Amino acid sequence: MIIKSSEFIISAVGRDQYPSDDRVEVAFVGRSNVGKSSIINSITNRRHLAKVSQTPGKTRLINFFLINNEFYLVDLPGYGYAKVSKVEKASWGKTVETYLTDREPLKRVVLLVDCRHKPTGDDVIMHDWIKHYGYDVVVVATKSDKLSNNDLKKSEKIIKETLKLKPEDKFVFFSSLNKKGKDTLIDTVFGDLLDENITVDE
């Protein structure tokens, strides 16, 4: 698949602001500083499409980007930033849970984890949350340029074991710096997105 066009549509706080045109959606989520904005900018070939927050953990908006005038890439707020208060963490949870609950256009969630570290407890909870709501999930290990090929194999083993991924679960490495894994990432995440066979578990 080739991403030919991408445009920012809206930053939403609640359901009343979500797009209502029933285009398919794929959401990206991950810890603050995992490189989510960089990945979105990289795969869309837009340097400033997704803005990097100057204050990690503070953003509570859900950003919708229209891709190829066909479907939405949804940027969910980052989680796990140590310096946010319990109130802010609760706000994040409510924002994301509201979006994930019965969101019919949402067909897939991309969970980003840092390949240099074992997935955190928050990562495990987020993965379980996505599974609980019945969405197809792709795990993307970011910053792969930081590790050797041997260390990447070790990282893959640790990530898959920690998140309890099954052999059929989708997993890819990616580096926003050198773009390694870009085509695989795009094809894995978006290749069959408009295929009617993608369904959300009831």
Tell me the domains of the chain and their CATH numbers.
6-190 (3.40.50.300)
Whether the predicted pLDDT of 193 surpasses 70: yes
> What confidence tens digit (pLDDT) does each residue in 165-178 have?
999 999 999 988 88
Residue 59: per-residue pLDDT: 60
DSSP E strands, the chain: 6-12, 25-30, 62-67, 71-75, 106-114, 136-142, 170-173
Long-range contacts of 94-100 (CB under 8 A, 24+ apart): 95/13, 95/60, 95/62, 96/29, 97/129, 98/14, 98/15, 99/15, 99/18, 99/27, 99/62, 99/74, 100/129, 100/130, 100/133, 100/135
Neighbours of 200 (CB within 10 A): 15
pTM: 0.88
Give 69-88 as a DSSP string.
TTEEEEEPPPB--TTS-HHH
Neighbouring C-alpha atoms within 13 Å toward the C-beta of 180: 14
**Residue with the two structure tokens 């993608």:** 198
| Token output for 193 | 């997105």
Pick the range with the lowest mean pLDDT from 4-8, 58-62, 74-78.
58-62
Do residues 51 and 37 lie in contact, with contact meaning Cβ atoms separated by under 8 Å? Answer: yes
> What confidence tens digit (pLDDT) does each residue in 16-34 have?
999 999 899 999 999 888 8
Pick the range with the lowest mean pLDDT from 26-30, 70-74, 181-185.
181-185
